Every structure is written in structure tokens, then in C-alpha cells.
Amino acid sequence: MKNLPLLLSALLLFLIISCNNSIKEPEKLEYALCIHGGAGTILKKNMSPEREKEYFDKLDEALTVGDSVLKNGGSALDAVELTIHVLENSPLFNAGKGSVFTHSGKNELDASIMWGKDLNAGAVAGVGNIKNPISAARKVMENSEHVMLSGKGASIFAQQEGLTIVDSSYFFTESRWNYLQQILNKEREMKRTDRHGTVGCVALDKEGNLAAGTSTGGMTNKRFGRIGDSPIIGAGTYANNKTCAVSCTGHGEYFIRLGIARDIASLMEYQNLSIDDATGIVLDKLNQINGLGGFIALDKYGNPAMKMNTSGMYRGYVNSEGVKEKYMYK
């Protein structure tokens, strides 16, 4: 009987090992990709059929580009960067070409990118002459010792890296300019739901690597060099091969305060929650402090989550099994 405790311990260890070995990993998709084009007051009653088609066509184009990269063995980083280029180059979204104007009538763009394989990341903030800020963020990640560069320094770095530099007039769109004038002339007031506008992409490649990227034109009528969550790793963007990749859109101050992107990954890592459960919990946290917005996330198996507490979010998903989905309204 002296050896009974040892026998029981051995038996318990055997049972634990057996149980662990019997737990099967969820089936992993070969690759997957998810995008968003901003969250806010997006209502079907306010959308003409022609305008709705423009948005759906652009979302489809972005998904097609990302799908092509991943299908042909490209990295999640390449897929994220090139997919976001499509959205940055469109005047439909508040990023790149379609960026909104600050109080002083300028464009100040932010972007970030993260590589889930090694947790490397890069970001730029407050830039006004880089055509594709997401590419500048990637250059910061890969070709500098820093994570974030801002303003003039970020532009000098981007130029040295051979990125396309444009005149500020490139970012001018009449609708964005007129909107600022309405605010300045007090013809309308800024609403909470006007504060959202970002594009983002998360991807899983055939090597099992995750990546996330986010790009934005910021907030209409912003002052004093305000920076939102989009270029802040852990707030607007996060990727970790152990868990998930996340890109956010919304009223950035709330996303910064909650560290939303990292929080989703942490819940999955430390509580072993699913992507759906983790994003649900974090959305509840956002609701509790009256923050508005949404986020897309992709777990290491390719399962997506696209959630918001606004009336809509431009979003879509594609994977290696031929699934392609696009949504606009809640």
C-alpha cells in the first residue's frame, strides 16, 4: 500500500496524456483572408443601388487580389499589403486616396502592419505625401529598428525606401472637402457615427502565418496632430500565429483605451477562447464604455469574425475552399 500514491499519480498522469492526445486540432484551412472598409452609419435606405454596387465591386476587387496572392503561395504579409492597396487607392474609403481633411484642410494618414510569425510590426502616423501608407508601415517593420515613424521623418524614410511620394492634391476628393466645410461653417455638427473610417485586412497563408494591417485617413476636422488607434500595435492592429490577426475600425480613442486588438488575442491565448467568443467579449467591453466601431479577426485555422456595434461595416471574407462573402449592413 506504500506505493499507492505513486500508482495513483502515474495513473492520473496517464489519463491526462491520453486526454490531451485525444483532443483533435480543428481543421485548418489552406488559406483565408478578411477585409473591412470602415464601420459607421451604413444604412440601405441611404444607399443608392449605383453607390452600393460601387462598394461591393471594390470589396470584391480587394478580396480577389488577396485571394490570388495566397492561392499562389504568397505570404500573408504580401496579401495584406496588396489588398489594402486596392482600398487605399479608392476614393470610396477613408484611407489613402479617399482620406478626410483635418481642421486645417490637410490630410494626415496613419497605417500599421504586423507579422504573426515573429511579432514584428511597423507603423507610420501623420503622413501627408505617401501614396500607400501601408507600404510605408511595412518598410518601417522590415528595414528599420523602429516600430513607428511619424510626420516628416516618416515621409523622408519612405522616400529613401523608394515608395511612391505624391503631391497633397492627390488626396483631394470633393465630397471629403465639402464635408469639412459643412462642419467648419456649422452647417452640420459632427456626430459620433461620423468618426469612423479605416480600411484593414487580416490573412492566413499556406505556411500557417498570420498578418494584419490597417490604414486610415483619420478623423474629419481633427486638430493638434491627433493620432487614433490605426497605427498603434495592440489597439488597431495585432497578429500572432499562436492565436489570431485583428484589424479595427471605429472611434480610435476607445480602441486605444481598451487595447482591443491585443485583448482579443490575449483572451484566445490565456483563456483558450474561440475567435467568436473572444471578439464577442471585447465588443461587450466596447459597448460598456460607449465606444463605437467594429473589427475583423482571423484565427490560426482561418475562421473569421467580423463584428460591429454600428449600423454597418464594409467587410468581406475569402478562403481556399472558394468561399467569398461581402457584406455592408449589419
Identify each DSSP E strand in 128-273 by its residue range: 148-150, 199-204, 210-216, 237-239, 244-250
CA distances from 204 to 29, 71, 154, 244, 318 (A): 9, 11, 28, 9, 11
Residues ≥6 apart with Cβ < 8 Å to 279: 264, 295, 297, 305, 307
pLDDT digits (tens, 9 = 90+) for 107-162: 999 999 999 999 999 999 999 999 999 999 999 999 999 999 999 999 999 999 99
Per-residue pLDDT reduced to its tens digit, 176-228: 999 899 989 887 676 655 555 799 999 999 999 999 999 999 999 999 999 99
Is 293 a residue whose pLDDT tops 60? yes
Task: Give catalytic residues, as residue numbers.
Answer: 198
| pLDDT number for residue 113 | 99
Between residues 189 and 276, which one has the greater pLDDT?
Answer: 276
Higher pLDDT pick, 273 / 179: 273
Dist. CA 184–CA 61, nearest whole Å:
35
Please report the DSSP string for 8-62 in residue order.
HHHHHHHHHHHHHHHPPPPPPPS-EEEEEEEEE---GGG--HHHHHHHHHHHHHH
Beta bridge partners, 121, equal 114
Q: Name the average pLDDT for the chain.
A: 92
pLDDT of residue 330: 85
pLDDT given for residue 184 in this prediction: 92
**pLDDT at residue number 177:** 95
pLDDT at 187: 73
pLDDT digit string (tens) for 16-51?
555 554 456 679 999 999 999 999 889 999 899 999
* Selected residue with higher pLDDT from 191 and 2: 191
Q: How many helices (H) and strands (E) does the chain have?
A: 9, 12
State how far Cα 222 lies from the chain centre: 21
Residue 117: per-residue pLDDT: 98
